[in-house]
C-alpha cells in the first residue's frame, strides 16, 4: 500500500514554547505536523487543551529502534498516545535502523494499524540499501515515508534514494530543509545566488531554501521553528509562485548535487 501524503509542509520543534501560538497557526491553515517530544509533559498535554484542532492535525511521532520490536513497540506507542492525549497517530516512524529485524518491526507496525492506533507508518534516516531491504519484508504494508535530512546544501539523496522512492510512490519527509544553524546555513543564506532568487519573489533567503525543497512534489518539508513569524513565512511560500526553471538552475549552479552516491548526511 502506498499513499502520497497531501501535506507539503509540516513543522518540527523541540520545546514547548510553541504552545503559546500554536492555535493561531492552525487557524492560519497549517495542518501537517511533526511531533518530537522529550519528556515535556506540559507540551504533551497540548491536544487536551486544544481538542477542537485535532481533526486538521496530521500527527507524526517516532519510536526508538530499541523499542521497535514485539511488546516494546506497543507499550511505547500506547505511552505516547496517553501523554499526547489522543487515541491514534496518523504516522509512526522508526527513528533509525537498530538491531531489531525489519520484519519484526513491520509486523508490529501493521498490528498497530489493524488495531486503529496508527493510520500509517514509516522510517527515518534509512538510505537506499536499507530501504531495499525493508521493502523486501514490508512492500505490501502501510509503510509510506522515509524521513531524511535534505536541503539546498545537502543534496546527496537526489542521486539515488529520492528517485528510487519516487518510483515507488514513497514520499520523502525532509527534516532541516533550511539547514542546521552554523557555517553551512550562513553560507547558503548569504550566497549571491540565493539572494538573487529571493528578490523577485519578495522572499527572505530562508524562504528560498524552503521553496527549493518544496519544488519537488515527492517531498514534504518539516522546518523547525520556535517562533510564529518564521512559521507564517514558511506558510507564505506555499501560496507563492514556485521557483522557475531558471531560478532552480541558478541555485543548482551555486550548490550542485553530487554526481555519485554518498552516505546520508546529518547536517
- What is the per-residue pLDDT across 120-153, written as a single tens digit (0 to 9) for each? 999 999 999 999 999 999 988 889 999 999 999 9
Q: What is the CA radius of gyration of the chain?
A: 18
**In what order do the strands lie in the sheet containing 172-175?**
60-63, 89-94, 118-124, 143-149, 172-175, 219-222
H or E element at residue 142: none
Q: What are the cell numbers at 219?
A: 517531498
Residue spans of the domains in the chain: they are 16-254
State how far the Cα of 263 lies from the Cα of 261, in Å rounded to an integer: 7
State how far the Cα of 80 lies from the Cα of 36, in Å rounded to an integer: 11
- What is the per-residue pLDDT across 198-241, written as a single tens digit (0 to 9) for each? 999 999 999 999 999 999 989 999 887 666 788 888 888 988 88
Among 3.20.20.100, 3.40.50.620, 3.90.226.10, 3.40.190.10, what is the CATH number of 16-254?
3.20.20.100
Distance of CA 222 to the CA centre of its chain: 5
State how far the Cα of 205 lies from the Cα of 193, in Å rounded to an integer: 10
Q: What is the pTM of this model?
A: 0.85
| Short-list 56, 74, 265, 76, CA closest to 175 | 265
- What is the per-residue pLDDT across 78-100, written as a single tens digit (0 to 9) for each? 998 988 778 999 899 999 999 99
Phi, psi of 199 (to 5 degrees): -60, -55
Q: Are strands 219-222 and 172-175 parallel, antiparallel or unpaired?
A: parallel
Please check whether residue 13 is in contact with residue 226, taking contact to mean a CB–CB distance below 8 angstroms. Answer: yes
Task: Spell out the residues 6+ positions from residue 70 whose beta carbon is closer than 8 angstroms to its own.
Answer: 104, 107, 108
| Range with lowest mean pLDDT among 52-56, 104-108, 178-182, 196-200 | 52-56
Please check whether residue 117 is in contact with residue 78, taking contact to mean a CB–CB distance below 8 angstroms. Answer: yes
Amino acid at each position: 500500500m502506498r499513499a502520497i501524503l497531501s501535506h507539503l509542509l509540516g513543522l518540527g520543534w523541540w520545546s514547548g514554547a510553541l504552545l503559546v501560538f500554536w492555535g493561531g497557526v492552525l487557524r492560519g491553515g497549517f495542518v501537517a505536523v511533526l511531533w518530537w517530544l522529550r519528556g515535556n509533559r506540559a507540551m504533551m498535554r497540548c491536544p487536551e487543551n486544544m481538542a477542537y484542532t485535532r481533526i486538521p492535525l496530521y500527527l507524526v511521532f517516532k519510536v526508538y529502534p530499541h523499542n521497535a520490536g514485539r511488546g516494546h513497540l506497543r507499550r511505547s506507542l500506547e505511552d505516547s498516545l496517553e501523554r499526547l492525549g489522543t487515541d491514534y497517530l496518523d504516522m509512526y516512524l522508526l527513528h533509525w535502523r537498530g538491531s531489531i529485524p525489519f520484519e519484526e518491526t513491520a509486523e508490529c507496525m501493521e498490528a498497530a494499524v489493524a488495531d486503529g492506533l496508527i493510520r500509517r507508518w514509516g522510517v527515518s534516516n534509512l538510505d537506499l540499501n536499507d530501504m531495499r531491504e525493508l521493502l523486501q519484508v514490508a512492500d505490501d504494508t502501510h509503510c509510506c515515508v522515509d524521513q531524511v535530512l535534505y536541503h539546498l546544501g545537502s543534496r546527496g539523496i537526489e542521486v539515488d534514494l529520492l528517485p528510487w522512492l519516487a518510483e515507488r510512490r514513497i514520499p520523502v519527509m525532509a527534516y532541516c530543509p533550511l539547514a542546521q544553524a552554523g557555517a553551512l546555513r550562513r553560507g547558503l543564506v548569504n550566497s549571491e545566488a540565493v539572494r538573487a532568487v529571493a528578490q523577485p519573489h519578495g522572499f527572505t533567503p530562508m524562504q528560498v531554501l524552503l521553496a527549493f525543497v518544496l519544488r519537488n512534489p515527492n517531498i514534504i518539508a518539516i522546518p523547525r521553528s520556535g517562533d510564529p513569524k518564521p512559521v507564517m513565512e514558511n506558510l507564505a511560500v506555499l501560496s507563492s509562485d514556485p521557483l522557475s526553471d531558471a531560478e532552480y538552475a541558478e541555485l543548482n549552479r551555486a550548490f550542485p548535487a553530487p554526481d555519485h552516491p554518498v552516505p546520508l548526511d546529518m547536517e
